[in-house]
Amino acid sequence: MPKARIAVLISGRGSNLQALIDAANDPGFPAEIGLVISNRPKAAGLERAAKAGISQETIDHKDFETREDFEAALNDALKIAKIDFICLAGFMRRLTDGFASDWRGRLINIHPSLLPAFKGLHVHERMIEAGVKLAGCTVHFVSSEVDAGPIIGQAAVPVLPGDDADMLAARILEQEHKLYPACLKLLIEGKARLSGHTVPYTNDVAASGAVTNPPTT
């Protein structure tokens, strides 16, 4: 059975991109990364893609007058590369309703909180300030509202005494690197699907708890 072709959209260092690259190197993983696109020419993640032998492209949003023009260029590159699914991995551009609708059910993102809590930016600092005892990350479908699409999977981590934002971010990032490939695999295999505003699992996935985990110490 042919593997699904994935595009990963980045803006920075690409640590979650690397997790997806590592997962795709497993012959049993149902996807291959066909293209990496950055909206920032100097994004370090482009070097990761190059080292892995993956096609990479820069589409600088500053070169376009409107979001729609920028997204049209994105779509052209995705179509040329025959992409099936898109993974946002630290992609720091808000996508329009039109783009999200065109890729509905095939466009996913990872966010460093247990959504719907702490949407947006500066998440780790805000969690520390709020005094939460449980943090984590979420993989979700992208919708017209930022960080609000249907949830595919989550992983939880404790907020420990003495944590600062950087320490908490590092602990969450470890879980992100596990969660993102796991959720992508479920999506491609049809074990987690978008249905309205929810993501029902097949019975075997629901029973296994494959995309959630308890807090660890």
**Gap between the Cα atoms of 29 and 25, Å rounded:** 8
**Gap between the Cα atoms of 6 and 20, Å rounded:** 10
Which residues lie below 8 Å from residue 103, measured CB to CB, with a gap of 6+? 86, 142
Q: Is residue 30 domain-resident?
A: yes
> What pLDDT, in 10s, does the model give residues 145-184?
888 899 999 999 999 999 999 999 999 999 999 999 999 9
Q: Is residue 43 domain-resident?
A: yes
Q: Is residue 216 domain-resident?
A: no
Q: Is residue 141 domain-resident?
A: yes
**Gap between the Cα atoms of 128 and 135, Å rounded:** 10
Domain extent at residue 197: 4-118+137-156+180-204
Residue 58 has pLDDT above 60, yes or no: yes
Residue 214 has pLDDT above 50, yes or no: no
What CATH number does residue 37 fall under?
3.40.50.170
- Report the domain count for the chain: 1
Q: Is residue 94 domain-resident?
A: yes
Radius of gyration of the chain (CA): 17
Q: Is residue 123 domain-resident?
A: no
Task: Check: CB of residue 73 under 8 Å from CB of residue 120.
Answer: no
Is pTM beyond 0.85 here?
yes
Token pair of 118 as six digits: 């702490």
Q: Is residue 152 domain-resident?
A: yes
pLDDT given for residue 208 in this prediction? 52
Task: Check: CB of residue 91 under 8 Å from CB of residue 39.
Answer: yes
Which candidate in 111, 124, 140, 177 is catalytic?
A: 111
Mean pLDDT throughout 133-141? 98
Residue 122 known to be catalytic: no
Q: Is residue 51 domain-resident?
A: yes
